Structure 1
Amino acid sequence: MECNRNFLTFVAFVFHLVCSFFSTQVLCVDAPFIHIPGNGVISGTYLKMFRTQNIKAYLGIRYAHARRFSPPDVELTPWKGIFNATTFGADCLQQNPMPSMGPETDQILKILSSETQQGGSARKYEENCLYLNVFVPDGLPEINGYAVVVWIHSGDFSTGSPIDVNPFQLVFKQKVIVVTFSYRLNIFGFFTTDDGEAQGNYGLMDQAAALYWVKKNINFFGGDTNRITLMGHDAGAISVALHMTSGEWSKGGFQKAIIMSGNPLNAVKLPADYEGSLDQVSSTFGCPRRPTSMFMQCLRKIDAQRLSENLPVVSWGPVLDFGLSNTSYPFIENQPEILFKRGSYHKVPVIIGVTDMEEVLTLFKDNLDAEISAADLEGFYNDIAVNDMHKLVKNYEWCSNYDLIAESIHFIYDNDTDKDMRKSNKHIISAHTEKFYITPMQMFAEMIGKDQPVYSYVFKRRPESLLQELPRWISVPKYFDQVFVWGNPYMTNTVNWKSADKKIAEIIMTLWANFAKTSNPTKSNVYIKWNAMKPSNDSVLLIDENFNTDNLHNNQRIHFWKSLYPKILYYSADCCNSTNSGGSLLITKTLTIISTLSIIVKLF
């Protein structure tokens, strides 16, 4: 058996030499074989586009094993013979088919995944799903190897797949290796209990295991182990930020980070927050809720497909797991904002950015053409006030100070000079995007900018070739920027792409690849000024036709959400907790707040 294995390795090595020698002149049937020490030999495939565009792909490579509700095991048994890495592995179990995110977003997602799934075959879903895919430029790498981009897919920690994007053009045009992978989702990836029986964050541990595999083996594919960029979007972006604070789990696994359309300071849940959800799971599957060991034993016996298809609606995701295991390190030992503030994170250069209307297609899902009334606008501000107050005071009792909070938001966003018929619509989405995305981005940059460069951006241009029927007041929703990041205007699909979209895609791919290669997005082949953010100059790149820069330091709305709004919340909560005798204090504080708001508006 050992002789056969050695002979196969020798054959693979010879074939690799032959293919590498002739790869610039002829096209081998298979991509060059690769020998991975400790695992074996794999054969890949060439992906082709047009007549002259080729990249190498090694698909469906296992990077770890995992027992249900347990951390991944990175010790892999060597495979026998030559592993056929020419088809994608199964996706991790999730709702199938996935629920619609609205016709516009569904169309964008379909374009982003164009031609990724071979032959249009139906996706497969399995519990044993820890596979990764390596996309390699065709040709000889640089002396130290290709820069590497490791992609964490979008979704909500319950859905998503590595084949949701097609990395062909980024690999082909920019000569970087792209690695995509699956990780456990929903209950399989984030089941947790508050008694130490189930640590949770198994999906994040899977991500760390994929990083470990890349760091250990990417050099055999021509990659540079010292130039690994961790990149993610939406839930993937939040994951990237969590890897920056993950301590031993991701230490040394990457040297750069790209965070797109995610809040890096997003508070993670506490284990106790899942108690009600676990009760629902227990009831749904008839498993005893206590003791936890019996609960987990019962859940482990349930068929994975049945468990996935019958899960109650639960917002699964990362959890603060400090102290929940005696056998493994915590992945999240404290809230991300606290860890970043005190400098407890892996210090790497960062690109971070958002679109200027992130959740517009969700907030206005069935009413894109409707004009929001003044009453609806006030209701939106009231909802923000109620939700934030409840988070602060930890109860749902009525508080008389919601109006104070809502009025302060209205004061900042009221603009009588705006004559646009959709001004209320734009105020709602501006308040939402600036509160939940742009302000955290600016705060994050201030926290870590003193240690390494942080480049921030706001996408203000959506593809001209797509969804022209969208109302004119809508700018760039979530996912629309990804069309440019992955070079979809250069793909062969049914969209008649305009040259302007191709130009933007070329620039964005160049900026991202420059960063992956040199930590400087404007290092070469692009004539754009993009300065790293500084405490005194919160420079942000506005990605539109002009690629100008703005300074968030002078933005009154960002200043409001960052500095004044938290004080208003605490004042209001304090007054809610006080007796009626504190009425005069409330009036004094209210006058102080309104006066401060007036001063801010005059200053800016």
Structure 2
Amino acid sequence: MKCKRNFLTFLAFFFYLVSSFFCIYVLCVDAPFIHIPGNGVISGTYLKMFRTQNIKAYLGIRYAHARRFSPPDIELTPWKGIFNATSFGADCLQNPMPSMGKETDQILKILSSDTNQESGSARKYEENCLYLNVFVPDGLPEINGYAVVVWIHSGDFSTGSPADVNPFQLVFKQKVIVVTFSYRLNIFGFFTTDDGEAQGNYGLMDQAAALYWVKKNINFFGGDTNRITLMGHDAGAISVALHMTSGEWSKGGFHKAIIMSGNPLNSVKLPSDYEGSLDQVSSTFGCPRRPTSMFMQCLKKIDGKRLSENLPSVSWGPVLDFGLSNTSYPFIENQPEILFKRGSYHKVPVIIGVTDMEEVLTLFKDNLDAEISAADLEGFFNDIAVNDMHKLVKNYEWCSNYELISEAIHFMYNNETDNDMRKANKHIISAHTEKFYITPMQMFADMISKDQHVYSYLFKTRPKSVLQDLPSWINVPKYFDQVFVWGNPYMTNSVEWKSTDKKIAEIIMTLWANFAKTSNPTKSNVYVKWNAMTPSNDSVLLIDENFNTDNLLKNQRINFWKSLYPRILYYSADCCNSTSSGSLLIIPKTITILSTISILVKIF
């Protein structure tokens, strides 16, 4: 009997050694345990693709707690036993996401495909949602650890999820750690009042808390705490720029920034801009609007899900919160453009870029085959003029000088030699992209290139394997570039990806990873010339099959939006606000717009 027991013990020990050897060299089901001081031990999981590709994932890790309408609390209670970090945490409560058009919905589905959620499980939504996910390459890191990319998800500050993208291929191919996380959205993340009761920007504070957690703990996952890149797209890109100007909130939390398809100089709202929206919220939920303390107490008693599902249509987002709290630093103490101009920002290397037709699927939603008339084109330019004039003069009274502004825009974009049947369509989207995306990108680069390297790009190619039925005049809409950033051509089985798409994805992932590792996107393993921008050379990488460069200083339309247009706008607004007809400069309508522009150039 004793011999039998000894034999069974030996047999068990033998199988333990064999299984341990097998785990080390082939892969275990569970990723290695990690001990996080002050929190406890967590177990992760291996994610697999195509049998031979593996990465480690630690999912659904809490990084902070937060009470409604309060900054996050980063003090975490240690968990008991081993925390099972093998499934995503709940997403933050959000507005139902409307369809963005079938083309955008399809590309978003591709981006999120193969996201390693439990098979067949639906996403969960909770108010207590501050979780993050750490994706780690399989194998031994560099001496100082892996470079780290912290991703801020897309959306409109009311929608979005860290599971909207799948970082598998970027982690596997480029050997970088990627961290994704949730942050509070809509009213939960951006409720604010103008009397100091509610500071707002809680969603941005959540992002800063996630950065703090990463900086404190990523070394336990094999990450380098001195190589953290903050990367975002759309609302996430605006967030990255705001972290650059956030003072104490994000200081030391990241060392590089990647800003994709977002305006870094985007003006933020004032607390007073939300007054009408708060009146709507008060009416919808039957809460007293005044005093604010009672209003907030009432809102805090409403079930989170009910509050989220019944919110009136409000454009929630960042707010200038200087002076709104006696206990917290302001997250946004002034407009971003002012802060960047005066050098009040965290000086880190930057990659910044846009697609060449950012909002085309929004502007032409459900009308992609329609041919815009000359009258429609003129109406579009009129709308830009009227909106900009009203913002400047701070009222919606009639002002005839908007015609001058509209004609100036029309002059820059109405090329009579263009025989393309879709020229009006192209002029509209070109004007929109150049005004709201490319010009701010160029201005931003001018402001910060004296302190740090800035690499800019313009995406001019979209995936050739999907959505081939898009009209030929459409080039690269928003989100289409993300297919290459995350390596989807190497990931999605549901699409037969062309070799061209795989090649571009390989190059883009290499450029982005090189930047995260060395601050130089062309440091190694890629044959692309991409110079940093300088005051005398606004070099921009044109991302297509050729990867050539251009100089934005040579683009007259960018120069128009940057320099001449503001002067025309201020001149027209000054005329509208003036009460002395003797001080007005009268420009007869019979004078051509070219002559008008010449007059204004001389004036200014």
Task: Please indicate the TM-score interval, normalised by the length of the shorter structure.
Answer: over 0.9
Residue 113 (1) aligns with residue 112 (2): yes
For 2:307, the equivalent position in structure 1 comes to 307
Q: Is the 8 A contact 2:95 2:186 kept in 1?
A: no
Cα distance change on mapping 1:591 and 1:225 into 2, 3 Å: farther
Whether 2:438 is the aligned partner of 1:418: answer no
2:4 alignment counterpart: none
Contact 1:568 1:593 (C-alpha < 8 Å) held by counterparts: no
Deviation per CA, 1:119-140: give whole Å up to 9, x if none: 1311100000000000000000
Pick closer, same or farther for the CA change 1:231–1:287 going to 2, 3 Å: same
Q: Give structure 2 stretches of 5+ with no counterpart.
A: 1-16
User: Are the counterparts in 2 of residues 43 and 86 from structure 1 also a CA contact under 8 Å?
Assistant: yes
Q: Work out whether residues 149 and 179 of structure 1, in 8 Å CA contact, stay in contact via their aligned partners in 2.
A: yes
Deviations 1:460-480 (A, max 9, x none): 000000100000000000000
Q: How does 1:182-581 map to 2 (within 5 A)?
A: 182-579=182-579, 581=581
Counterpart of 2:225 in structure 1: which amino acid? Answer: T
- Measure how far apart 1:382 and its partner are: 0.2
Amino acid across the alignment from 1:260: M
SS of the equivalent of 1:471 reads: coil
> What is the distance in 2 between the residues matched to 1:250 and 1:22?
43
TM-fit CA distance, 1:21: 7.6
Q: Give the CA deviation at 1:404.
A: 0.4
Deviations 1:413-456 (A, max 9, x none): 11111110000000000000000000000000000000000000
For 1:576 and 1:217, locate their aligned partners in 2 and report how far apart those are by CA, in whole Å.
57
Gap change, CA 1:265 and 1:584, over 3 Å in 2: closer
Q: Secondary structure at the match of 2:297?
A: helix
C-alpha separation in 1, matches of 2:600 and 2:274? 41
Give the structure 2 partner of residue 25 of structure 1. 25
1:24 and 1:139 in contact (8 A); partners too: no
Between structure 1 and structure 2, the one with the greater Rg is 2
The aligned counterpart of 2:155 is 155
Aligned to 2:173: 173
After the TM superposition, which segments of 4 or more aligned residues of structure 1 sit over 3 Å from their partners? 17-24, 588-601
Question: CA, structure 1 residues 37+489, in 2 after alignment: closer, same or farther (shift >3 Å)?
Answer: same
In structure 2, C-alpha distance between the alignment counterparts of 1:590 and 1:553, rounded to whole Å: 32
> Does the residue aligned with 2:458 lie in a helix, a strand or coil?
strand
Counterpart Cα distance in 2 of 1:311 and 1:441: 34
| Residues 563, 326 of structure 1: alpha-carbon distance in 2 compared, 3 angstrom cutoff | same
* TM-score of the two chains, using structure 1 as the length reference: 0.94
CA shift in 2, pair 1:563/1:44, >3 Å: same
> 1:10-37, CA deviations, whole angstroms, 9 ceiling, x for partnerless residues?
xxxxxxx999986661211200000000
Q: Is the 8 A contact 2:587 2:596 kept in 1?
A: no
Gapped regions of structure 1 (runs ≥ 5): 1-16
- Once structures 1 and 2 are overlaid, which stretch shifts more, 23-32 or 54-63? 23-32
Which residue identity is paired with 2:363? Answer: L
Counterpart residue type for residue 315 of structure 1 = S
Amino acid at match of 1:563: S
Q: Which moved more, 1:410-419 or 1:453-462?
A: 410-419
Post-superposition offset of 1:194: 0.2
For 1:20 and 1:563, the matched residues in 2 are separated by 67
1:327-360 residue CA offsets vs partner (Å, 9 max, x unmatched): 0100000000000000000000000000000000
The 2-side partners of 1:323 and 1:359 are apart by 35
- Which residue is 1:104 aligned to? 103
Residue identity matched to 1:91: D
After TM superposition, the score normalised by the length of structure 2 is 0.94
1:412 to partner: Cα distance: 0.7
Are residues 506 and 23 of structure 1, via their aligned partners in 2, closer, same or farther at CA, if it must alter by over 3 Å? farther
Distance 1:227 1:23, change over 3 A: farther
Q: Secondary structure at the match of 1:199?
A: coil
Counterparts of 1:86 and 1:525 in 2: how far apart (Å)? 33
Per-residue CA distance 1:302-326 (angstroms, 9 max, x = gap): 0000000000000000000000000
CA deviations over 1:515-551 (Å, ceiling 9, x no partner): 0000000000000000000010000000001000000
Q: CA deviation at 1:584?
A: 6.0
Q: Which amino acid aligns with 1:29?
A: V
Task: State the distance in 2 between where 1:539 and 1:202 align.
Answer: 37
Provide the alpha-carbon RMSD of the alignment: 1.8
Q: Which residue of 1 aligns with 2:49?
A: 49
What secondary structure, in the 3-state scheme, does the structure 2 residue paired with 1:66 have?
coil
Supply the distance in 2 between the matched residues of 1:236 and 1:18 (Cα, whole angstroms).
47
